[in-house]
């Protein structure tokens, strides 16, 4: 076995009383793709942040190509040949590709020579690794798949031999994800070492050579990918057997609960984001809305949730809803029987500095059950929160803990508990398992299906095609503000849905 590209020995890191990493040792071989998986809060991001110089370990050593290396900051990591592609890209949108590539790595105070040198090197890198991009294109005009290429090129321009990718396919179409994996395969062939952090077990099985599993801050296993299975990895992550498919009976849809007709949404810049769409959601069914983020799904949820104006018509339980914003808001939507789990739990679903018991009452705090005269009955709210935390397995089950101190999966459970427990006629749910681990995904899916089986209507928005395919009873695909088509899950496949997500009908693609 050759000298390891990366070797971490005895890495430990604590944040106050929380031990994020406990005596972790891991060896990554050169020219391989090494996956790291684990539940939310398992310590994956902390470990990679130590390797990239964002955090300093309390104990332990880092070896790069056999040499003990100190990495006090990201500049030291870059100097050691380490690059990192973040889940949320670090690009300046109104800069060109070339300007983004050299940002922070200019040669001296004059930009013109730096840009000329970068243009030549960028072409060589693009040709070598199949990462073709237009150097003069503005980033804001490029798809997320191309933006990700720029992030990879940025790292390669800085001569990175080791690449860390954090959840790289979260915002990609299936075709873009396939293209990314081809690029990663090419980088591996050229001798680059890649660390891939993902919660998608299929990606681990498809692209990695070796996979390490973390649980509760410790490294529980490192195995050859070819010698394991998704079921075994899920059990190693969670510590118990996990059902990797959605177990549900066929739907028995009833009458339409929600009818949307010719809905149009214009944003604050005057850009039309939703372009005359029409659909309905019936009682006892899940309508899955597929599409790459940014194609109008978010604006649609905001209109339905009551905090964005629109034109067209929305009918809920045979009563028209005001779309001007003059007589309608989130409070009135909830009174109509609409519950909303927003796409971004931290910005729209929770107030992060407030305690869990306060967050479980938001939007429903005027209910009589939470009142004692004209004042809030805080003791009643806390008691109700304790019951919700038990039913939804929120960990730790402490109502007085601030929302920011829960892992992403447990934050999501708090929002779900608040909305589902109101017994809504219609549940709007955006990206229900974004950044959520395997164990929590299983639980969240069970709750959604249980609500459907109670005869409720559910509009599910997700960029995860696996989730759309397994949860939905009907699937509609959005692209550029339009609904491209509607399919039955058992009569379509990811290839067809991927084409629709890219704005192509299968006939046009042929």
Within a domain: residue 245? no
Task: Give yes or no: residues 220 and 322 share one domain.
Answer: no
Residue 316 in this model has a pLDDT that exceeds 60: yes
Q: Does 251 score more than 70 pLDDT?
A: yes
Of 161-165, 178-182, 226-230, 296-300, give the lowest mean pLDDT range.
178-182
Q: What is the pLDDT of residue 400?
A: 94
Please state, in angstroms and rounded to a whole number, the distance separating the CA atoms of residues 510 and 508.
5
> Taking Cα atoms as reference points, which of 243, 263, 279 lies closest to residue 474?
279
- Residue 168: inside a domain, yes or no? yes
Which of 238, 271, 296 lies at the terminal end of a domain, its last residue?
Answer: 238
- Read off the pLDDT band of 360 (50, 70, 90): very high
Angle made by CA atoms 202, 205, 209, in degrees to the nearest 5: 150
What is the value of pTM for the model shown? 0.71
Alpha carbon distances (Å) from 175 to 150, 283, 290, 494: 17, 33, 14, 10
Residues 230 and 260 in one domain: no
Give me the CATH number covering residue 201.
3.40.50.300
pLDDT band, residue 237 (cuts 50/70/90): confident
> Is 140 part of any domain?
yes
Question: What pLDDT score was predicted for residue 16?
Answer: 83
The answer to whether residues 135 and 264 belong to one domain is no
Is 67 in the same domain as 187? yes
Nearest to 199 by CA among 162, 234, 148: 234
Rounded to whole angstroms, the Cα distance separating 273 from 401 reads 38
Q: Is the pLDDT of residue 109 over 60?
A: no
Domain count, the chain: 2
Give the phi and the psi of residue 432 in degrees, each rounded to 5.
-60, -25
Are 234 and 315 in a shared domain? no
- 82 and 213 in a single domain? The answer is yes
Specify whether 151 is located in the same domain as 276. no
Distance between alpha carbon 204 and the CA centroid of its chain, in Å? 16
Mean pLDDT, residues 384-404 taken together: 90
The answer to whether position 228 is within a domain reads yes
Same domain flag for 50 and 161: yes
Q: What percent of the chain has pLDDT over 90?
A: 52
Q: Residue 277's pLDDT is what? A: 98
Residue 217, domain member (yes or no): yes
Q: Residue 298: which of 64, 61, 463 has the closest Cα? A: 463
Identify whether residues 154 and 195 lie together within a single domain.
yes
Tell me, yes or no, whether 260 and 234 share the same domain: no
From residue 242, give the alpha-carbon distance in Å to each of 230, 236, 445.
10, 10, 12
Please choose, from the candidates 446, 439, 438, 483, the residue with its C-alpha nearest in 3D space to the C-alpha of residue 461: 483
Average pLDDT over residues 223-240: 89
250 assigned to some structural domain? no
Nearest Cα residue to 271 out of 291, 296, 297: 296
Does the pLDDT of residue 509 top 60, yes or no?
no
CA atoms of 308 and 373, how far apart (whole Å): 33
> Of 211, 238, 265, which one is at a domain's C-terminal end?
238
Given 204, 238, 272, which residue is the final one in a domain?
238
Q: Which of 11, 93, 96, 5 is nearest to 47 (CA)?
A: 11
144 shares a domain with 92: yes
**Bridge partners (DSSP) listed for residue 227:** none
Exposure letters 460-491 (e unless 16+ CB within 10 A, then b): bbbbbbbbbbbbbbbbbbbbebbbbbebebee
Q: Averaged over 269-281, what is the pLDDT?
A: 95
Query: Is residue 366 domain-resident?
Result: no
What mean pLDDT, rounded, does the chain reach? 88
- Verify that 85 and 204 share a domain, yes or no: yes
Give me the domain span that covers residue 469.
256-348+424-509
The answer to whether position 262 is within a domain reads yes
């Amino acid at each position: 076995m050759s000298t390891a590209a990366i070797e971490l020995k005895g890495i430990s890191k604590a944040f106050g009383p929380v031990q994020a990493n406990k005596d972790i040792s891991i060896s990554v071989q050169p020219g391989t793709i090494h996956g790291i998986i684990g539940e939310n809060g398992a310590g994956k991001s902390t470990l990679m942040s130590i390797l990239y110089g964002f955090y300093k370990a309390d104990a332990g050593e880092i070896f790069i190509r056999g040499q003990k290396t100190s990495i006090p900051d990201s500049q030291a990591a870059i100097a050691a040949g380490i690059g990192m592609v973040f889940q949320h890209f670090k690009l300046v949108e109104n800069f060109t590709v070339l300007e983004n590539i050299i940002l922070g790595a200019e040669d001296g105070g004059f930009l013109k020579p730096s840009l000329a040198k970068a243009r030549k090197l960028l072409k060589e890198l693009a040709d070598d690794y199949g990462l073709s991009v237009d150097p003069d294109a503005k980033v804001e005009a490029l798809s997320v798949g191309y933006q990700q290429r720029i992030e990879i090129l940025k790292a390669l321009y800085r001569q990175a031999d080791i690449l860390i990718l954090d959840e790289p396919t979260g915002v990609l179409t299936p075709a873009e994800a396939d293209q990314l994996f081809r690029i990663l395969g090419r980088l591996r062939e050229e001798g680059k070492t890649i660390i891939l952090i993902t919660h998608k077990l299929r990606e681990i099985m498809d692209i990695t050579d070796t996979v390490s599993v973390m649980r509760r801050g410790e490294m529980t296993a490192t195995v050859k990918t070819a010698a394991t299975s998704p079921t075994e990895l899920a059990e190693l992550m969670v510590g118990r057997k996990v059902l990797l498919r959605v177990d549900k009976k066929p739907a028995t849809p009833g009458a339409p609960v929600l009818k949307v007709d010719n809905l149009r949404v214009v944003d604050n810049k005057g850009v039309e984001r939703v372009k005359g769409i029409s659909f309905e959601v019936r009682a006892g069914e899940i309508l899955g809305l597929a599409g790459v983020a940014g194609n109008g799904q978010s604006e649609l949820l905001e209109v339905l949730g009551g905090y964005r104006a629109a034109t067209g018509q929305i009918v809920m339980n045979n009563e028209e809803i005001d779309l001007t914003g003059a007589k309608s808001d989130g409070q009135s939507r909830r009174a109509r029987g609409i519950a909303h789990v927003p796409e971004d739990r931290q910005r729209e679903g929770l107030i992060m500095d407030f305690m869990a018991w306060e967050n479980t009452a938001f939007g429903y705090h005027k209910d009589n059950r939470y009142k004692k005269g004209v004042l809030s009955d805080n003791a009643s709210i806390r008691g109700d929160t304790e019951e919700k935390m038990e039913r939804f397995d929120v960990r730790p089950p402490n109502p007085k803990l601030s929302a920011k101190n829960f892992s992403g999966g447990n934050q999501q459970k708090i929002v779900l508990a608040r909305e589902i427990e109101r017994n809504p006629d219609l549940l709007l749910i955006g990206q229900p398992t974004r950044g959520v681990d395997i164990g929590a995904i299983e639980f969240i899916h069970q709750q959604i299906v249980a609500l459907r089986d109670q005869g409720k209507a559910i509009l599910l928005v997700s960029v995860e095609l696996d989730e759309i395919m397994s949860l939905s009873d009907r699937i509609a695909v959005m692209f550029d503000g339009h609904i491209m088509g509607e399919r039955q899950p058992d009569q379509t496949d990811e290839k067809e849905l991927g084409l629709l997500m890219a704005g192509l009908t299968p006939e046009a693609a042929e």
